[in-house]
Amino acid sequence: MEQKFKILPISDRSFREIRQGNFLYADKTEFIYNALEIFKYKSCFLSRPRRFGKTLLLKTIDSLFQGDRKLFEGLWIDKSDYQFKKHPVLNFNMAYADIRTPDDLIGNIEDDLREMASEQSVTVTSNSYGRMMEQLLKSLSKKYGIGAVILVDEYDAPVTRHISDRKLCEANRDVLHEFYQSMKTNLDYIHFAFVTGITRFAMTSMDSGPNNFMDISLLPEFAGICGFTPSELDSCFKERFEETLEGLKDKGELPQSADVDDMRAEILKWYDGYNWLGSEHVLNPYSILHFFHKKKFGSYWPSSGRPSHLSALLKKNPLDYIQLSHDGHPAQKIRKTELSNITLEPILFHSGYLTIDSETPMSRIQNFKHIQQETLSLKIPNKEVSIDYIETISRNIFKPKRKYISDLSKNLPVALLNRNSDEVVRLLHDILVSISFHLHPSNRQKKPDRRYESEKVYHCIIHSSLLSAGFNVMSEASGGDGRSDMTLFLDTNTCVVIELKRCTPSKSAQDTTDFSDDEIIRSEARRREKELSAALDIAEEQMKEKDYAGPYRATRHRVICMALAIRNRTEVAVRFVEG
């Protein structure tokens, strides 16, 4: 029976398998041609998050240098002037599973070199991987009369997988330094080299000397080299749109009135947003393939596994995950990460949890000279990543008790629709008091870290709890003349706009010498209520002044506006505001 659509390459496939089978393929050969023929790069480095198509890109380059033009029939490069000249290709994958010491890494590299020499029917006699590389490259050049192609996948795995072990990280870094140095000293025998990884560590000889690897990660000309652009979404998947739309309607994922344009807009909201300074954003390929396969919106990329180095950093200082700095990052620091000064934002950027929002030139003075420097603003790219990010914080840091999450899921919608402030306060109070705020090293200190009781942390707790309870909630949603703290969608027609304020507890200045204990308690209670009320006033005034509810009224939503004030974990106040 004839296949209705091209097969989705859900599992890992080689370029040859994809082209010889009836698999869907987004043509990236123009990018490869440009690197080779237009820019004439000798060696390239590309950083992209996991499951973004780096391995398939390397397999495509491998097939290209095998000279099998038939595999490229109908693709962009087949119509170009590229000659498809065959070269010996050396493939390295640094994601070795059994690295416990630097000697293990060295042993794996040497085993790879011996195996490649055997496959090419050449001999290497040295016991040093640097000398083995030299012998192999020279022998291949002599045998074929042409330079070799070197492809390295997951070059950073020996470092990122051991990020919590500084000593092993640095030792593996030194091994990698020598590995890339051996490539640089033998460039006369290399036709082309391409290295990929997740994080660009400023650690190897890729960063030194006259023959640097060209970092194409943030070059606009190569922004779409991995992943699907919105135009590729249309060209590759358009034939599936109608069938997928019906599947989404059947599952209740979209209303019956939705059309293809509505579905496409929702796809972009879930999976688009990655920007490597190109004119088009990029959609996560892993998620898009699984979305069309299952005909269901979901967090596919995050559920496929989280980089181990992120988990290690989360355990080291979880508060950093909440108090991210999104603006003013020097572009150079985002491009490279120093092992001696690892900061979370660059790691999250390279891992796919943050992306570039905008680029701004900045001038600074250094040694009495004006230096122009680009700065980057970062953001969470899309709904899929936002949900996973906040759920990760909830799961690993706050851990609200399941019975209170269940109570929130069951009773909050009714309380909000009835504007029952007492019931909303009860539900949020139960969530807050169930959470341990001191799950990082400071809980062993005499004084707990009070940063864990900042407004931002309370915001994150409530957002993550609402998500855990199954609600559709957005933080920092644009509306009116600013961004409301949260917007909770109860259904397709009803939303709750929430503005949260935290009143900082103050010490009473009143002299209580002549007061009884009961009078002191009552006075303290009045002061606390006054502080909460003042915070609610500020939240209410801000909601009205900036008209946060306006955009939702314009789309004919039923809008409920709610001011929320938190003094501490046990003191919460709510006020419903006329929107």
pLDDT digits (tens, 9 = 90+) for 40-59: 999 999 999 999 999 999 99
Lowest mean pLDDT among 72-81, 249-258, 281-290, 510-519: 510-519
In the block, tokens 């915001």 appear at 459
Q: What is the mean pLDDT of the chain?
A: 87
Q: Where are the beta strands (DSSP E) in 87-243?
A: 89-93, 148-153, 190-197, 214-215
438-443 long-range Cβ contacts below 8 angstroms, 24+ apart: 439/318, 439/397, 439/398, 439/399, 440/317, 440/318, 440/319, 441/317
In a domain, 391, yes or no: no
Phi/psi region, residue 90 (left: phi>0; alpha: psi -120 to 50; beta: rest), is beta
Going by pLDDT thresholds of 50, 70 and 90, the confidence category of residue 209 is: very low
Choosing from 254, 285, 303, the residue where a domain stops is 303
**The amino acid at 460:** C
d(CA 515, CA 482): 46
The tally of CA atoms less than 13 A away on the side-chain side of residue 84 is 15
Q: How confident is the model at residue 365 (pLDDT cuts 50, 70, 90)?
A: low
**Burial bucket for residue 496 (CB in 10 Å: 0-12, 13-18, 19+):** buried
Q: Is the same domain home to 318 and 368?
A: yes
Residue 392, domain member (yes or no): no
Q: Which of 91-95, 303-307, 481-485, 512-516 has the lowest mean pLDDT?
A: 512-516
Instruction: Enumerate the β-bridge partners of residue 564.
Output: 500, 574
Residue 366 pLDDT greater than 70, yes or no: no
Separation of CA 468 from chain center: 20
Identify the CA nearest to 571 among candidates 364, 420, 375, 429: 429
Does residue 244 surpass a pLDDT of 80? yes
Give per-residue pLDDT as tens, 305-348: 877 777 777 777 776 777 777 888 888 888 877 777 778 888 89
Residue 367 confidence (pLDDT): 55
Which residue segment(s) compose the domain that 545 sits in?
399-506+517-577
What's the confidence (pLDDT) of residue 446? 46
Asked if residue 563 and residue 424 are part of one domain, the reply reads yes
Confidence of residue 423 (pLDDT cuts 50, 70, 90): very high
Give the chain's domain count.
4
Average pLDDT over residues 170-181: 91
pLDDT at 442 over 50: no
Q: Of 350, 379, 408, which residue sits at a domain end?
A: 379
Q: Which amino acid is at 267?
A: I
Query: For 257-302, what is each residue's pLDDT tens digit?
Result: 999 999 999 999 999 999 999 988 999 999 999 999 999 999 999 9
| Domain boundary residue, one of 222, 238, 272 | 222
Is 389 inside a domain boundary? Answer: no
Whether residues 243 and 209 fall in one domain:
no
Task: List b or e across 517-553, with b for residues whose CB sees 16 or more CB atoms inside 10 angstroms.
Answer: eeeeeeeeeebbeebbeebbeebbebbbebebbebbe
How many C-beta atoms surround the C-beta of residue 402 within 10 A? 10
Same-domain status, 405 and 372: no
Assess whether 193 and 67 both reside in one domain: yes
Is the separation of the CB atoms in 362 and 374 below 8 Å? yes
Residues 175 and 93 in one domain: yes
Q: Is the domain of 341 the same as that of 360?
A: yes
Residues 234 and 216 in one domain: no
